[in-house]
Structure 1
């Protein structure tokens, strides 16, 4: 296995907590009704298109035409987005900073809407510490598509075989491996540290 020279972190659910239920447990208190709303109105498939670059105005208009009776909560998704990302994972952030301080090349690769990422970057200042970030909403492609991994490798001059990618989604881990990167599934800071040490990364 090629020696690791580049470390690439996902952000959501790896460095920063994300959970749409946080505001919506208040906005739609009934659990069954809330589940129906996420399964049929503001679905994951709908939300990922904002990560691909669709504007919130376009996204809301699409749903408002189909579900006019849910107009308020459709708008509430963007309106209360900040509540969905309440805090960072301190142990994961500390590990990332430890890797940077030890001289490792660290970058970030995230599926995230462009405008909400601007807000996140202002709130979570540690996002400025890695060498750079690829944000899906800014370039119009998402993980696990090959194009976003190729873009990131070109943008930051990464050798794929010498790159380790860390993500909480197995399909994104598989996508990275498919383009020749090494990759591990994130389940917590301690298991990640063990994985990186096993792979010979210096701290």
Structure 2
């Protein structure tokens, strides 16, 4: 799943942006068509991935790969979800490919030492002439999922506290009721919009399957 890795990469100093999306292990995705979460779940050949833009003066490629290995167990293969959850490192140049392959070898030794199955991680060299055909950003509701979820629950908790306090006799606290109700409705509406996007994405995936 790309939620936790995206959150982890976003917290690293030097990471300029991280985007959850769907990627292929070949340099052309024309045969797949436009992906959606549901097409990937059905097994269209793509993998959940995170695209990271970073400042090499502040964080190295090796540091990014350490986070990659920390955020998942590459020895786990989910039956029926081999493509969706495959362990992949996409390298943009020869140096990145060399470093990535080195970390795979190190991981295999570490996994063997700890008694785990050999990691199934593969390294894919991206054709820089068509990088946009490898990675497609995921739907909006997937982006920064954990950060948004924490913000929603924290916001609702604060609003609930204000509503409870606002029912007390204090005039100052009572004046907060209107603001608290507005914030609560805004958070619920935010959740509704993301749920609607999920429904539309599902419908699009079902229509694509029928065609």
Larger Rg: 2
Relative to the length of structure 2, the TM-score reads 0.28
Q: Which one scores higher on RCO, CA 8 angstroms, separation ≥ 6? A: 1
Relative to the length of structure 1, the TM-score reads 0.28
| Larger proportion of helix | 1
